[in-house]
Amino acid sequence: MMSYLFLLPAFGFFLLFVAYPMVKGVYISFFDYSLRDFSFIGLDNYISLIKDDNFMKSMGNTLLLVLITVPIVIIFSLFVSMNIYKKKEFARSFFRGVFYLPAVSSVVSITVVWGWIYHPNYGILNYLTGLFGMEPVSWLGDTRTALLAIIVVLITTSVGQPIILYVASIGNIPTSYIEAAEIDRATPWQIFRKILWPMLMPTNLYIIVITTINTFQCFALIQLLTSGGPVYSTSTVMYGVYEQAFMLGHFGYASAMGVILAIVIGIISIIQFKYFGSDVEY
């Protein structure tokens, strides 16, 4: 009996604020639920979504964001971790701190400074590219560069946790394996490919999955830097959910978007588990 009492607060909050809204989210996606209306319309929201060019563009942007961001985050964090895991505790803390800073400081602060760096007239980026003779670019205002500009900021905010995890995991790999390989004159690349990468598989899987989910959920960067513009070039599904629900009041339509996004994330996570979830243990 006592056990249930200990469990009750956490489980109660969980049921009320996580489990119930999840079920309700699926439920209201079948309704025309707006400020004026609440009527059952079956699959109409989903049918409209498929025909909605802006939604399709947002979905494309979201997938592009994941496809570019996740591999770069993995490669970058692995690179940093491999270079710092052997260092003294002080140096390790220093580097972990540096790369975690953007994740820990408020996303609002990150976006205001990047908004300034990217500014077409007095941004420092145009000044620097100008030194090399490049014409000034409206980084966030040009459909060709806006998504790229967002991706750069997104990567800086995403690498902190992977680096912490990789440093810990690489530190856990018995050094004798690497030393033995070095005695056999394996090249650093061979050591990485044949020893480190396979032994890091459980960590890789976790990092790939959380980075993918975080990228799908990326919202504040987009709202604060571009508001999805110009002409939907940086809009994502998450931003679309916000726009439809909280700016236009289309709760049913936004819920359907959320359900589709959740399904897409679910499918991608399953693929990742299948592909990377080989049962390497050490």
Partner 1 sequence: MNYTTNPLELKAPIIQSKKVSAWRKELTIPKIIATILLILATIFFIFPFYWVVSGAFKLQTVATTIPPEWFPLKPTLQNWTELFKNPVERWMFNSFIIAFAEMAAICIVSSCAGYVLAKKSFPGRGIIFTLFVAAMALPKQVILVPLFTMLADFGWVNTYKGLILPAIGWPFGVFLMKQFAQTIPGELIEAAKIDGSSEIRLFGTIILPLLKPAVGALAIFTFITSWNDYFSQLIMTRSTSMMTLPLGVATLRGEFTTNYGLLMAGAALASIPMIAIFLMFQKAFTQGITMGAVKG
Q: Which of residues 193-212 bind partner 1 (CB under 8 A)?
A: 202-203, 206
Looking at residues 108 to 147 of the shown chain, list those that interact with partner 1 (rule: CB under 8 A).
108-110, 112-117, 121-122, 124, 127
Least separation in angstroms between residue 250's CB and partner 1 is 9
Q: Is 154 in the site for partner 1 (CB under 8 A)?
A: no
Residue 120 tokens, joined: 């077409």
Least separation in angstroms between residue 58's CB and partner 1 is 13
Q: Is 75 in the site for partner 1 (CB under 8 A)?
A: no
H helix intervals, the chain: 2-14, 20-28, 44-51, 53-84, 89-104, 107-117, 124-131, 146-158, 160-172, 175-183, 188-191, 197-199, 201-216, 220-225, 237-242, 251-276
**DSSP assigned state of 29:** T
- Number of Cβ within 10 Å of residue 46's Cβ equals 16
Least separation in angstroms between residue 64's CB and partner 1 is 18
Looking at residues 36 to 65 of the shown chain, list those that interact with partner 1 (rule: CB under 8 A).
none
- Number of Cβ within 10 Å of residue 52's Cβ equals 17
Rounded Cα distance, 125 and 149, in Å? 11
Q: Is 149 in the site for partner 1 (CB under 8 A)?
A: no
Residue 38 phi/psi, 5-degree rounding, is -150, 90
Using CB under 8 A, count the residues that bind partner 1: 91
Looking at residues 230 to 259 of the shown chain, list those that interact with partner 1 (rule: CB under 8 A).
237-238, 241-242, 245-246, 251, 254-255, 257-259
Q: Is 261 in the site for partner 1 (CB under 8 A)?
A: yes
Exactly one of 3, 88, 133, 274 binds partner 1 (CB under 8 A); that residue is: 3
Q: Is 185 in the site for partner 1 (CB under 8 A)?
A: yes
230 preceded by cis ω (within 30°)? yes
Q: Is 219 in the site for partner 1 (CB under 8 A)?
A: yes
Looking at residues 13 to 32 of the shown chain, list those that interact with partner 1 (rule: CB under 8 A).
13-22, 24-28
Strand partners, 31: 40
